[in-house]
Structure 1
Amino acid sequence: MTGRRPAARGRGTGRSTGHHGELLQGRFRCPVLDECPGLVTVPIGTVGSVALFTPDAGAGVRIRTDGDARDLTKARRAAEATLAHLRAEGAPGFTGGELRVTRTAPVGLGLGSSTADVLAAVRAVADCCGVELDADTVARLAIGAEGASDPLWSDRPILFAHRHGHVIEELGPELPRMFLVRCMLGGPVDTLALAPAGTGHVGEYEELRALLRRAVADGDAPGVAAVATRSARLNQSRHYKPDLDRLIAAGERAGALGVQVAHSGNVAGLLFAHTLSPDRVRRAADCVRADGFRVDVEPLPIGGAV
């Protein structure tokens, strides 16, 4: 635990933003293990989850939802694990409660919906207890609940071991500013059903890691986009997207710097220079849509100081 605030009254609230897939994902050398899978996400504030936790004297956590409660199984596990952790620390005076989660991220597209649910649930339970949990504890609870977790608790670009729960490398204070145009390359995906990134490209992923580190340090948006595009292509052997090459070509014709994808989903993003006007980016998005892609023409600003 990081520390305590005055105990919350009644219910607790927790929030988490989602993300827009990854800039880089693969296997890397790391200081904790010889090598392990890792990723660098693209944080966005337009999708996410809000959790409300109402404590009571019952046993366990009950889900209250207008949809399918099975979608929130990981969030319930996270809430129960957080309760157990805090009780071991002597914090809560209750044994269960009701969890309600509202999300704005569609499930299965690679927007971090399950991690956002989980983190929001962890924070809601902690809020009930007047406790602020440190990042390592939050990561451990999240991975325990869902098997793999995105680093949505970080406001800095990091290479994160999403199946093991540790930071492989902090890449810098912030990503360079860019515009992102969302595209779709298929339907929902069962993220955990996909195999982890293989071991065959560790050397190439280490090269991309070095290039990304340098691009972040230099504020080099084209350099970041080049890494993202190469990582998207390498991921084809793990989660094949039939239209990826065609999207990359359409993006090049429209003036995009490159393409990033959800490596475990089917959302993709065309990356544009932040020096372009939003109207110019919208016109570029219209061109890509004319090539037959499902495109959200409203550009999302990414990077810069959070």
Structure 2
Amino acid sequence: MPIHLTAPEAAPGGPDGKGWNRLSLNAHFGQAAQCALRPQRWAALLESQDTRRARWGGFGPCVNGGKCDACPLLAALHDQCTVVPFNAPRVLVRVEPVYPPDAMFAGPAGWRLWPTLGPDDRDYRDRRPWSWEDVVRVHGWEVGRAYVDEHGDGFWLERTTRVPAVGVSIRSKARASFTRHSFAVASTGVAMLHCGGGACTHDEELLNAISHACPGPDGADEERVPVRWWQDIQLAPEPVGAYRFAAAVSPYSVRIVARDRELREWGRLTLTGSGWTTERVLAAGGALRAHLAGPAS
């Protein structure tokens, strides 16, 4: 992954083609190399996601003299991941310029990046701000569109199934004929996926997608589920490929079963607790369906 960005060479003839004036500072000072892991704005952050397309000009200076193999920023990219502190499908990051004291005409000396739950989140200054390097080290989230309002600039981060939901612990236990995956919030079980037929045929992304639908601590309990028995048909995902789904609602749980054409059970998802609203149940069932549907063509 190339991260060392050298400055473009100046034209020998100068900007006017008649040579550099010996009194010009541009004739004697070169431009420092930059690092593709140190973006300074949203557009450069997009380029930092695949540094093969990164261009000199929107990044901070190199900190290790071009020795990328021993670069502390490259090591931190893998060893010091930044965790998004919200269980939300998307997060708005507000960008605040920081100006030096008594500065009248100077540009910003740095930036504070504030993760928020959206445009209406006004308590974000109570949290720890990020740097641009912190955002580069966010794993499992994709950089979304830029955002501008009366309070300033920002951009969106979109969560993917490559990362589980914050606050949801996932544990797996394999047996000879089945595997169980349990989901817990605040040490309370909220869901269980039972995979029949021995070894699982899915990857971690299915478990992560189910965790995204799990309720927060307020809904992690042993109370009745808020959905009703007559919603069985509504809560069952649509058939996909060779698989059919059935949902069953009892006072304290919702069960979604996936079977193939021979009526063999592929998996059984059980949801418990008062946090399983209709929207969350549909999201969990949708995660099962999306996995069985396979990659989008």
Task: Tell me the TM-score normalized by structure 2.
Answer: 0.25
Task: Tell me the TM-score normalized by structure 1.
Answer: 0.25
Bigger radius of gyration = 2
Higher helix share: 1
